[in-house]
Amino acid sequence: MMKMPSLKPLLIPLTAITAGSALLSYKLFNFAFKRVDYVPATSKEKQKYADQYYDYVDWFHSVPSEDWYLNENQPDHKMVATYIPAKVATQQTVIIAHGYKGNRETMANYAKMFRNMGFNVLTPDDRGHGDSAGDYISFGWLDRLDYLQWIDRVIEHVGVDSQILLFGVSMGGATVEMLSGEHLPDQVKAVIADCGYSSVEEELTYLLKKQYHLPEYPVEPMVSEINKRATGFGLANASSIKQLEKNQLPILFIHGEKDTYVPAYMAYENYHATHAPKQIWIVKGATHAESFWKNPKDYQERIGTFLNTYM
């Protein structure tokens, strides 16, 4: 009878591989999901807009505004937002969702644009960002629940005749896409999502290959399980596509043609998943979150055309 080879020589390297994958997954989770209390430097492509950006930031801090809160007396759950009333009283309000590791200040250019268009503006800090509580970044999935409360606050403040626009860029784009699949008040009229990803799972898998040259397995499932234990949801649940399939609001998708952080094909995935009235604008030559900066006038005009149709 043939003697079976011993498995002992294989167990040590297999154990080492598993341990190595687990350690790598924890490091990636901490890097990607754990809050940081600073805004990372922007990409090289957008450094040339720095002077314009800081002019918008100066405006943001000088314009008349109010601080709004959710769960104000609960330090571990407190959410913070800035409300900027329109120059002329209006019932139209835009709620602006910021990007990954950003905060409400980093959306100053969009806040000024919409205020110039006649809107009240509400810009929250998401969980794990800025002045809001939270140890982890939820990439829009849990944030969408906070935005439901921000919507209610706007209606309470502006009135039952409010007309609300949801707008977001990058992670913020995905946030409003995910939010669009919830049961929303009639006062919410339209959505604009600039360079939002199709799902957290697909975005992480893409970046693992693009930036780290790592395969999806076993790292992504491990990161997903770590996140589930830390925040309560697996990455497959956090899907813009699944939420957009339920969306009933008119939506404009904007995406940079040369986006290598959230590739443009995700915009088409989101567009095709949507059954409500929809438009898509792929901005030639624009990298990630650069569409506004390429030509602010064209950006505002394109948004204005969409709003004139649906809001």
Q: Domain residue spans in the chain?
A: 43-199+238-310
Q: What is the pLDDT of residue 21?
A: 80
Portion of the chain with pLDDT greater than 70, in percent: 94
- Class of 43-199+238-310 per CATH? alpha beta
Q: What is the pLDDT of residue 45?
A: 82
Q: What number of CA atoms fall less than 13 Å from residue 274's CA on the CB side?
A: 28
Q: In terms of C-beta density within 10 A (0-12 exposed, 13-18 middle, 19 or more buried), how is residue 283 classed?
A: buried
Q: What is the pLDDT of residue 51?
A: 96
Q: What is the pLDDT of residue 49?
A: 96
Q: Which tokens go with 31?
A: 């890097």
Residues of the chain predicted below pLDDT 70: 1-19
Q: What is the pLDDT of residue 260?
A: 96
Portion of the chain with pLDDT greater than 90, in percent: 86
- Rounded CA separation 160/272 (Å): 33
pTM reported for the whole predicted model: 0.93
Contacts of 190 (CB under 8 A, 6+ apart): 165, 166, 249, 250, 251, 252, 306, 307, 310, 311
Q: What is the pLDDT of residue 16?
A: 46
In the sheet that holds 92-97, the strands lie side by side as: 66-70, 79-84, 120-124, 92-97, 163-169, 188-194, 251-256, 278-283
Q: What is the pLDDT of residue 18?
A: 66
